[in-house]
Structure 1
Amino acid sequence: MKKKRLFTIMTIAILFILMISGCGRKKTDVDQWSRINHEKRVIVGLDDSFVPMGFQNKAGKIIGFDVDLARAVFDQYGIEVDFQPIDWSMKENELQNQTIDLIWNGYSKSAEREEKVLFSDEYMKNEQVVVSLKKNQINSFADMEGKILGAQNGSSGYHSFEEQPKILKDKVKDQTAILYDGFNEAFMDLKSGRIDGLLIDRVYANYYLSHEDNLADYSIISGDYESEAFAVGLRKSDQILAKKINTAFEELKKSGELAKISTKWFGEDVTK
């Protein structure tokens, strides 16, 4: 009898724990705008080394074009933005697990990603290029034949590299790329000669090299990859949140604030 009673008590305890954990489990099938608007807080996931979109400065503060843009968007709703550095290769998982509310850091829109996330309206164009030292005499993708290439893990550039092998993958050494978590280490390896070229977003390349003292030592090479567009990544269920972001984009364009933010980081309005 005692064993039976103990078994009953343990069963009830387990069911209670499961019930409590079930109540606390986050749901991903409900639009999160009401929660975000109530809490007055939204969490943006980013790669904090992606200059100039979102990155840590020397003081450890996260700054950048997308940082300013996200704050300007949510200022219209009185909502504070928290920026959460994440493993960029796991960004969609972080979004679905609700560790973050948005992916917003030079996030390129693509058909593959549209299967996983809901995108906001596009706000900037971009393309994938190869950066190399001029001494390497690489002036086209064809010149990467047998050369060592670097790329960022989880980036749209690396996805294009894998999905469209004839453009670049079939040319480089071992038909593969050395993968990096961020571009800072990649540029160090480019300078040291460990890699011959780096597949990278043009916006990053332009900004990074414009701040290098030896800009004349580098080449930026365009290829045949299609141009891309940056947009904000949301969960499929966050339809209202997406509309709020898109409405704010329109207001920032009309007021000239979007052009002002762009000029601050790029010296011109690159959002047209």
Structure 2
Amino acid sequence: MKNSKQLMLMFAMIMMIGILAACGTSNNDDSASNKESANGDGKKVLMMGTSADYPPFEYVETAKSDDIIGFDIDVARAITEKLGYEFKVKDIDFNGLVPSLENGTVDFVLSGMSPTADRKKTVDFSDIYYKSNHMIVTKADGEIKDVKDLNGATVGVQLASIQEGIAKDLKKDGIDLTIENRNRIPDIVQEIKAGRFDAAIIEDTVAKGYLADNSDLAGYVIDGKTKTEEAGSAIAFQKDSELTEKFNTELKKMMENGEMEKLILKWFSGETAK
């Protein structure tokens, strides 16, 4: 009888261990969106991917804190709050953002990204939430002042960016330029200042921040249209994500009620943000 009780007790313990193991397995989901709120308020946490080298869209003001701030961060905060989510930000090199969406490391990308046809093959996009132009950045005492002056020049662009596509379009159109890419915008600016790049193509809003802080640099807006489609920024999601429609609904409301305009004025008026 005693042995029988011991066997029953051992069997019960084995069953309990199995149940606990199964529970642990069922909660161990690699999807970024399954993370519990650190505040214990029951809200689902969404992981946002961004490349925090792109002021005033997303950047770190190191003199004040290590937090990532900027226009895109405020847009993400506004939308996720309205939808009842919390969000966290993961800093990733720009060329790694789409792969991070594909493998589930992040739930959405807000990083001044343009919805090109090539990107649409693997991820979905929201509506455009911000439009801008592009600028040639070069040394102030240089001879480059227009696209035609890029002939024979070494031009820096951010890896996997729409500006890289613009540079390739110019090359196809007969401008004999050498394209050099880097992961981060500050690296590109330093290459110009060091004389290793003759110029760079950078989004104008971002470029103006660097021009304000570097009197030895000059910028010239690129006139005319390029072959690169849909210039402007949109939010990227995994294919067929339910978040796309939800975010689009809130974006539309923000456009209509003036909330988006307020954020644009906050970050872009006077071009003082960097």
Q: What is the rounded CA distance, in whole Å, between the counterparts of 2:115 and 2:170 in structure 1?
A: 16
Match of 1:193 among 174, 192, 195: 195
1:156 to 162, 165, 182: 162
Deviations 1:176-227 (A, max 9, x none): 3222111112111212222110111122112332x32527x41324144256
Gapped regions of structure 1 (runs ≥ 5):
1-19
Question: Structure 1 pair 43/25, CA: closer, same or farther in 2 (3 Å)?
Answer: closer
Question: Which one of the candidate residues 228, 231, 234 is aligned to 2:234?
Answer: 231
Amino acid at match of 1:220: Y
Deviation at 1:252, TM superposition (A): 1.7
Distance in structure 2 (CA, Å) of the matches to 1:122 and 1:201: 15
The residue aligned with 2:17 is none
Provide the secondary structure at the position in 1 that maps to 2:114: coil
For 2:68, which of 57, 62, 84 is the aligned residue? 62
What residue identity is the alignment partner of 2:267?
W
Q: Which runs of 5+ in 2 are unaligned?
A: 1-23
Structure 1 partner of 2:220 = 220
**Partner Cα distance (1:213, 1:92) in 2:** 32
Q: 196-205 vs 250-259, which deviates more?
A: 250-259
CA distance in 2, matches of 1:200, 1:21: 46
Q: Distance in 2 between matches of 1:148 and 1:22?
A: 53
- Measure the CA separation in 2 of the matches of 1:26 and 1:90: 18
1:159: how far off? 2.8
Which whole-Å CA distance do the structure 2 matches of 1:43 and 1:117 have between them? 16
Counterpart of 2:13 in structure 1 is: none
Deviations 1:25-58 (A, max 9, x none): 6579xxx69x999642111101111111111111
CA contact (8 A) 2:134 2:202 kept: yes
Question: Separation in 2 of the partners of 1:44 and 1:115?
Answer: 20
1:139–1:221 contact (8 Å) kept in structure 2: no
Corresponding position: 1:75 with 2:75: no
Give SS of 1:84's match. Answer: strand
Say yes or no: does 1:48 pair with 2:49: no
Give the root-mean-square deviation of aligned CA atoms.
2.9
Residue 171 of structure 1 corresponds to 176
Partners in 2 of 1:178 and 1:126 — Cα distance?
23
- Select the structure of larger CA radius of gyration: 2
Alpha-carbon contact 1:118-1:236 (below 8 Å) kept: yes
Query: Corresponding residue for 2:120?
Result: 114
Matched letter for residue 268 of structure 2? F
Task: Tell me the percent identity.
Answer: 25
Q: For residues 151 and 25 of structure 1, what CA distance do their matches in structure 2 show?
A: 37
Deviation by residue 1:229-257 (Cα, 9 ceiling, x = unmatched): 2100001120x211111111122223322
Distance 1:155 1:166 in 2: 17
Secondary structure of the residue aligned to 2:172 is coil
Give the ranges of 4+ consecutive aligned residues of structure 1 lying more than 3 Å apart after TM superposition. 20-28, 35-39
- Aligned residue-pair number: 239
- For residues 72-97 of structure 1, give each alpha carbon's deviation from its aligned partner in whole angstroms, at most 9, with x where no partner exists: 11111232121100121121111011
Does the Cα contact within 8 Å between 2:43 and 2:86 map onto a contact in 1? no
Deviations 1:147-196 (A, max 9, x none): 1211111111113333553247x421xxx322211111211121222211
Distance in 2 of aligned mates of 1:167 and 1:134: 26
Alignment correspondent of 2:145: 139
Counterparts of 2:43 and 2:173, CA distance in 1: 47
